[in-house]
Chains A and B, each alone.
Chain A
Amino acid sequence: MSWTISARPDAIPATRVEARHLVQALQAGCDIAAARSIALAVGRIHVPLQALATVEKSAGTDDCIFCVGDFSRWDGLGFGLKSGQLIVEGDTGARTAAELVGGTVEIHGNCGAWAGAAMSGGRLIVHGETGDWLGANWPGELRGMTGGEIFVHGRARHHVGVRMRRGTIAVAGPVGEGAGRGMIAGSILLAGFTQGIVGQGMKRGTIVLGPYADCRTSISATGFPEADCFRPHTLGIQLSHAAAAGWKPAGAMLCCRSVRRYLGDRLNHGLGEILVLSDSAEGATAYT
């Protein structure tokens, strides 16, 4: 079965809506009446779902939930999703697809902070922009995302993939400061301009910077002394996979002729790597 939740334009909540249980409640197999009465916390009070949105249920084999409208004040949409699909035609609030386990969450709009935070599987696709802490760890937790994939077609703000342990984050647009800080493993593909230093304190993992990144300001000279120009074979596999998932910059990044590879963060005894792709033939890899 599939559900369609349409945000009511005449009932825009005055404060944040906690919607982290919504998707799981709908997937539990409730009927339309029960779905309409799902209680959502709006500030300190609870209101039924039908007070904020219209709910429709349609028969079918696809386990899909459509959300249409402005959900920018709804936090936790797709939280802990294990299977199926959540498609949002509009903006969402904080913690979208956080702790995602499986399935796909696709946002045709912008996301708030903590999108995909601490996720362990599944796929999050954001066609717009995301807030801070994309795929990062919860405050006080040692690990950020531990699996799955995040593809962002727009920009992302600060602290992308902080302390991520596994999985892939790909951002097509510019990113803010602190991307890949304290990274433990996994991959971050950044096609756009990067603000500040990336990969600070990383232990392992791979950060790939596209031709628009300025490596003079993005890479700590002490933490990442230039190592070599080896182009890993897995880079092509990774970019091909991202291209197959519809992440557009992958094609151009695949065509980049040269790779510079920095290892670090030496200040943290790290074995991570930052791969800087470039169109120029200068420093083109000697390897095939």
Chain B
Amino acid sequence: MPAKVAAFTYYLPETTYTNADFANDFPETKLQTLQKIGVEKRHITPKGQTSSDLAFAAAEKLFTENSIPRSEIDFLIYCSFDYDHYTPATAGILQHRLGLSTRCGAFDMGLGCSAYVYGIATAVSLLETLQLRNVLLLTASSLTHKIHAKDRGNRFLFGDAASATLISFSEKKQTGPFTFGTDGSGAGQIMVPHGGMRTPLNETSFEESTDEFGNVTTPASFYMDGFGIFRFTVATVPGMIEETLQKAGITRNDIDLFVFHQPNVFLNELLRKKLMIPEEKFVHCMKDFGNTVQATIPIALTEALKEGRLKPGMKVLLAGFGVGLSWACGIIDYE
């Protein structure tokens, strides 16, 4: 489709949580074991700040770095689990805060690890169908707020962040094709069970349970079946990538850079080997961020660009997979 991913950036909250902080909180854990996860530092959204604040800061950064006129944004998509209020949509609040036109469309998208690829695909469809010029895609995660203080595994893995991406009409560049997948039978594999309409918070919501490895959680906190997700990923991601390449009529060798969601380095390294992708074509970007859910791919793109690994003219494959269960893959021609 005639569209390009024109610009992207990210924003991190100032508060950090390093492996030294982690070692203080969990002195019984051997950090050496966790090195394969590939995280050394995460940023944490402090109390009083919201995911939409992070998204706002990321968007401001994007406008400043790229001198994009705000009046030319036709659509705003906000992807997050975190909304300012039960209603109205946070995207509308952001439209006003960012000083975007009142002729700008805006809506929220509640996906997680697959959100960024979904967001780009949706933006491209809007550009084409409505003949728009620019879509602003914002993603933000403050998942650490939902992780129990004694949930060792997840506190090591996750960090908070936001991203801003501009997707624009282009006569020269192509974005796509995309493939998507959903398996709601795995909804419980990554979940905050209580606090939504199905099970409102009640007297059992804060009852602690401890798994065989000593990780503590409650029904009101984030839960992830790490082993189940591992199996899902290994079983699903290679097929999704092959399907996308087939749709595009190209092979793996035609892709210059593979940028996946970053759940942990160990898992992505296994996927890389399974797909026989050479190291120089694969981006790992976890060390200073952790798993930032909706923000991992745009952070990895930004860092790859800074490091000179992402260059104009490259064909880039993006893959998001996780909570839902939901997965999406797409190919972009980077300008």
Q: Do A and B bind each other?
A: no
Seen from chain A, the residues whose Cβ lies within 8 Å of a Cβ on chain B are none
Seen from chain B, the residues whose Cβ lies within 8 Å of a Cβ on chain A are none
